[in-house]
Amino acid sequence: MQDLLREDMAANARVISGAAAAVTQQLLGVSVKITGIEVVPFEVPVDRFGLGEPLPGHKVVQTLTRVLTDDGVEGGYLGGHFHGDQDGLLPGDQALITRLVGPLLAGRDPFDREYIWQQLWLSKLPENVVSVIDLALWDLAGRATGLPVHKLLGGARDRVKAYASGVNSLGQPEDYAAHAAECQARGYRAYKIHNAIYWDPGTRQFAPARPSHIDWDIQTCRAVRAAVGDQMTLMYDPWETYNTYAEALQVGRELERLGFYWYEHPMPEYRVDSYVRLAQDLTIPICAPEIAEGGLFTRAEWILRRASDISRIDVLRGGITGAMKTAALCEAFGVRCELHMSGFGNLQVLGATSEDVCEYYERGLVGPGLDYDATPPYLRAPSDPLSSDGFVSIPQGPGLGYELRWDYIDQHRLPAAEVEPVAPLHPR
């Protein structure tokens, strides 16, 4: 009788659409199965900034990666390439997901996130591909239960301090100073400088062969500090354009004099010993690694070598699962773990971590002539509105917290990527 009742309830559960059915089936022990993964590419106009000038009307391909199930409940993630969740997956990564990862995960329970994370990480797939799947699975779990992801992880806060993360190659030192002051007036209490990267601020020309402009960079930091005074927290990120330890040390000493809060990712991150020396020789905290491959595991090695004072991770280097593991690692060693980049996924991690572990949200990139506050046309609301006192709220909607405008996505949809995926070395 009990079996009949159970079957009857399970049958009823299957006809209830969407989230409620997924939860009911989980409670009944009838697992939901992944049926496939779809990547939806679509075109979006965005304002960008490059080489000292705003680039309005730039077009990018955004992607929505959807994990579909036999139950009807689904999860998705926007983005997967470049900054935050604003740029879609490249064609090769799209093909990897739809043609290799989708069939690999078909039939799996989408709530088995840890099993899937381990399997994909060990498969040597690109980190951003593993991450996008993990993010979509967390979104699915949130939408199935009606909870934002940070509540599933264990909520810690509902808003987070934000810093304005400026565009690189913004202009002359006085241009940086004016922009920092503008951000301060807007409500930001912290500002991060990205220096001139592959651009000569004197000639305003592309300069790939000579990325270091130490004198310009020091003048820029001085001008910004003078413009905003001592009350604004300042960070500096030359994005590994310093080719020598001596250059990094010289700028770091100036940052100490100017009272900057951290010094981020100044040198190429494959030269770890240079970082060990720099962290020893400077008192300003070094924040790194940012882009080094290996996610959680590389950060562990850097902590053990004392190669930086603040660690760094984001949700495209192991997903929410990887970011939370990294935050726990850092907490155990008493090292802060600063989240790299903006977006819904990083905000959910911040909502589930203490300010003592992950202090700031990186809002941006922001720059002169760019309307960062505009809602992207495929969303009903932006991810990270700024409060007048310099905070960003953690999105409280189900899953990652985004709401899609399917009418826009359908009207601007592009053909699926016609690219043969390059199989990883060890597909299992």
List residues near Mg ion by CB under 5 A. Answer: 237, 264-265, 290
Minimal distance, residue 281 CB to Mg ion, in Å: 21
Minimal distance, residue 290 CB to Mg ion, in Å: 5
Q: Strands (DSSP E) along 84-224, which ranges?
A: 159-166, 190-194, 199-200, 205-206
| Residues 27, 130: Cα–Cα separation, whole Å | 28
Minimal distance, residue 348 CB to Mg ion, in Å: 20
Confirm if 132 and 80 have CB atoms less than 8 A apart.
yes
What is the bridge-based pairing of β-strands 262-264 and 286-287?
A: parallel
Confirm if 318 and 326 have CB atoms less than 8 A apart.
yes
Q: 68 or 323: whose CB is closer to Mg ion?
A: 323
Q: 104 or 288: whose CB is closer to Mg ion?
A: 288
CB-based contacts of 12, cutoff 8 Å, min separation 6:
none
Minimal distance, residue 94 CB to Mg ion, in Å: 26
Q: Which residue is nearest to Mg ion (CB)?
A: 237
| The one-letter amino acid at 16 | I
Confirm if 72 and 127 have CB atoms less than 8 A apart.
no
Q: 93 or 264: whose CB is closer to Mg ion?
A: 264
Q: 213 or 265: whose CB is closer to Mg ion?
A: 265
Minimal distance, residue 415 CB to Mg ion, in Å: 34
Q: 61 or 164: whose CB is closer to Mg ion?
A: 164
CA separation (Å) from 368 to 185, 222, 343? 14, 19, 21
Residue 88 DSSP one-character state: P
Look at residues 312, 340, 342 and name the one whose alpha carbon lies nearest to residue 86: 342
Minimal distance, residue 267 CB to Mg ion, in Å: 12
Q: Strands (DSSP E) along 261-366, which ranges?
A: 262-264, 286-287, 310-313, 336-339, 360-366
Minimal distance, residue 360 CB to Mg ion, in Å: 12
| The one-letter amino acid at 6 | R
| Residues 61, 413: Cα–Cα separation, whole Å | 9
Q: 71 or 384: whose CB is closer to Mg ion?
A: 384
Residue 289 DSSP one-character state: -
Q: 13 or 307: whose CB is closer to Mg ion?
A: 307
